Amino acid sequence: MWKRKESLNLKIATYNIWNSESGMPYRIKYIVNEIKLINADVICLQEVSSRKLAEGIAANADYPYWYFDNSQKIAVVNVHLPWDSVLISEHQIIKIVNAKTYEYVYMAGDFNCSDFSDVQRFLLGECTLNNCESLPCWFDLASAYAEITDKKAENTLDFWKNPRFKGNTVETNSRFDRILLQNTYPQPFPVLSRCNVFGTAIYEDIALAASDHYGVVVEME
């Protein structure tokens, strides 16, 4: 979903809204609430179960433009890699990076892999996959912002505080949801001014957060 924007200044967000009946239908209004609070120019949603749901969220969150699947200088690629197959994830990410590029390309979504995965390292230009290279490479904006602020990049899967995972003492907190920027050379880099998670509020009437994932939002100038 996006709002009309005429400049390269962008606020981009990604949010896996959890395709589950838990907390429904009330949870939808909290998803919309989180989206409206962020007020991003572009937001990439994952696990949207139907076209009707996508249309409803866009309308209620005041987004006049939306695209259910996903001539400009800027492109935003919405990614949702499978959680249950590393092999399929690797094949899919290769197809994505080999697609037509623009001057400024952002990749946002649920990558379902850790910072140390081959998929992440491939995107950063640190390794190859199936004899393929990610050229140009990508920059993880949460990692970049962590260096700017001298703070650790925030996790988006919180097994300690998110009630969705209550009782799960085996899995560790992870950062599966990311926003990356493809190397813009020879164009100048935009300035990263903000990167943080959202959707951490617990709503008392459903005893859940709006989703099992926290979203990520960045501001570029």
Query: What type of residue sits at position 13?
Result: A
| pLDDT in the model for residue 158 | 97
Residue 53 CB-density burial (10 A; 0-12 exposed, 13-18 middle, 19+ buried): middle
The three-state DSSP-derived secondary structure of 165-196 is HCCCCCCCCECCEEEEEECCCCCCCCCEEEEE
> Topology of 10-220 in CATH?
Deoxyribonuclease I; Chain A (3.60.10)
Q: How far apart are CA 170 and CA 30, in angstroms?
A: 28
Q: pLDDT tens-digit profile of 70-91?
A: 645 888 999 999 999 999 999 9
Q: pLDDT tens-digit profile of 182-204?
A: 999 888 899 999 999 999 999 99
The residue among 214, 182, 176 whose CA lies nearest residue 196 is 214
Check whether 68 has a pLDDT greater than 70: no
Report the share of the chain in percent with pLDDT over 70: 95
**Residue extents of the structural domains in the chain:** 10-220
Give the residue-averaged pLDDT of 62-69.
76
Indicate the pTM of the whole model.
Answer: 0.90
